[in-house]
A and B are shown apart, each in its own frame.
Chain A
Amino acid sequence: MNKLLLSLTAALLALPGVAFAAATGASSLKANPYVTIPIFLIIIGVTLAVVVNSARKTKSASDFYTAGGGITGTQNGWAIAGDYMSAASFLGISGMISLYGYDGFMYSVGWLVAYITVLLIIAEPCRNAGKYTLGDILSFRTNPKPVRAVAAIATVSVTTFYLTAQMVGAGKLMQLLLDIPYVVAIVGVGVLMVGYVVFGGMTATTWVQIIKAGLLMTGAAVLSLLVGIKSGMNPLQFFNDIAGSTNVQDHVKLLPIYLSELKSGTATMDAGQRFLEPGLFLTNPLDQISLGMALVLGTAGMPHILMRFFTVPTAIEARKSVIVAMFIIGSFYILTTLLGFGAAIHVTPQGIQQIDKGGNMAAMILAQKLGGDISPFVGDLLLAFLCAVAFATILAVVSGLVLAASAAIAHDIWVNVVKDGHADQHEQVMAARITSLVVGVMGIVIGIAAEKQNVAHLVALAFAVASSGNLPVVALSLFWRKMNTAGVIAGLVVGTVASIGLVMVSPNMTYPDKVADGAKAAYLKLEADIAAGTIAPEAMEKTQAIITAKRAEESANRGGTSMLGLSSALFPLKNPGIVSIPAGFLAAIFAALLFPNRRSEEMFDEVYVRQNTGLGMAKAIDH
């Protein structure tokens, strides 16, 4: 049971990973290539045209990293939304709602609330005090070389975790939807991503993100409209349709959590209504609070999100961009609810799980079904459009990540640490381009190498590192007079190491002994069923085969240990934030107090006045 939940959560977090591996067998979900390929070609064509156009304008380092600071607030808002809404939120959350109802909706809330932190605490001060990277903000009143080096390592680790999850997800998704080999899918996505970033820099990346956000919102809105029409555009009727669906009721009645509620007498007798109540999926409140902390603080510490605020000319535009992004992202999650519940009504949870156990394909099947109700061609068209949306989504997110990682390496390490800041514009742009190429190729290689790995926990890990390592030191640098070099380095190192360390000993890892226990429980149950005579004779052969397979699985895993040699998890939560975030803050504060630095304290006035007023701001255009 626990095992099942784990793998489902895992599947949800990084989308494909586990779930797609399990999604073998009869699949009725196939995109029609005669419709899909032209739509893909149009998207690739449009984005490449954008790249050619932006490449001409990308001459200086500030053009490359921040589009010359010439992005408007509204454009940046759309780009932030495009940068942020990954395929996991689009497909994973609608799937979670379609299978577990209310909990999926509750899960989506934190992803929007996170932007309050970005808006109130981070966006404007960063615009006023920063230039291209996290290292720029942190090195202002500290010893720049060690701080930049550590900041770059933190940035690269966060982006690598996130990028790996996205690349593997992209490969599995394209493999499933387009029926192409995994490696081809990864290389295809990777080449486009490298092309956008290397030639078009921030300008091209921004426009790819804007286009993607527009496509995603269009897809979600059209599909939601179709769902709404089916329920007469009446919210009360919509909820009646969900709870009244006998398929939803049957699905809930078979959920282990519902069965145990029935046993303890706490269950809502109306199984359909139970679908609209909390607790079918998210059963550990501490883990949710921990994830909530990582989202609320981690989003503001994500290097690729931070970087977006350097692209606007003023703090006022930075503020406007967060507000625009919040309306797009919030509306998107509300539409996602309609898609998830709509899929539960019209595709049924059973139909969704037939194609993918984790529910990741719910929105896709819904598109095919509702479009198909109008005409088969509309069904193909809608499905193809959603495939293209998923594709554009992946491209937009991975491009933003490659750009952020490259900026950290080229700008912080190469230009400011190795070259002491002595590099002319031409050299800086060359360094940025070469680094982007290398980072992109590494992304492709890691994506291919990680095909069989469980990458699901990497998204949670990226948010954990961003919230425990990056955010505490950024916030303290901006708002605390006594913050200094020791504080930044201690905070970054402790926050990052604590997050990674706790995840390595958490239930996210595979513990072969636990797998063996699960396999044993499964075959014992089947054997008991056989003994009790509840297995139909025609299913006997299949059941025996499953028992043999489960016995083999048990013996293969029995006595094995996790990557770190553990037989079970040491840390009980999947999300380390609740421990690692305070650890990051405390380490930074203690180190800063232990090794006080006069110069850092004296310079606080300058930082504080700058970030509040924008005085003396290094306008990106001035470079």
Chain B
Amino acid sequence: MIPTHYFLILSAILFTIGVVGVLTRKNGITIFMSIELMVNAVNLTFLAYARQFHQVHGLIFVFFIMAIAAAEAAVGLAIFITLFHHRDTIDVDEANLMHW
């Protein structure tokens, strides 16, 4: 049996990679993928704790997170398609219509 904190450390590493991706990239879809990576890191944490405490609730949270991630992907990609049709790019710096 692999100890729980191994999974937690892996999850932390993946989450950090996701954070770096969001902070340093300009391509909207890459940023979005980094967010998905962070969401998955959190899922891993949920499952690790679920096994540590033998609680099914953690699994159900992961279930919900997956459903919400699907919804998020649909809406997010629709936003990027719209952005592309208005600006011909998905560079997030170009999405400055509400910029003051």
**Is A bound to B?**
no
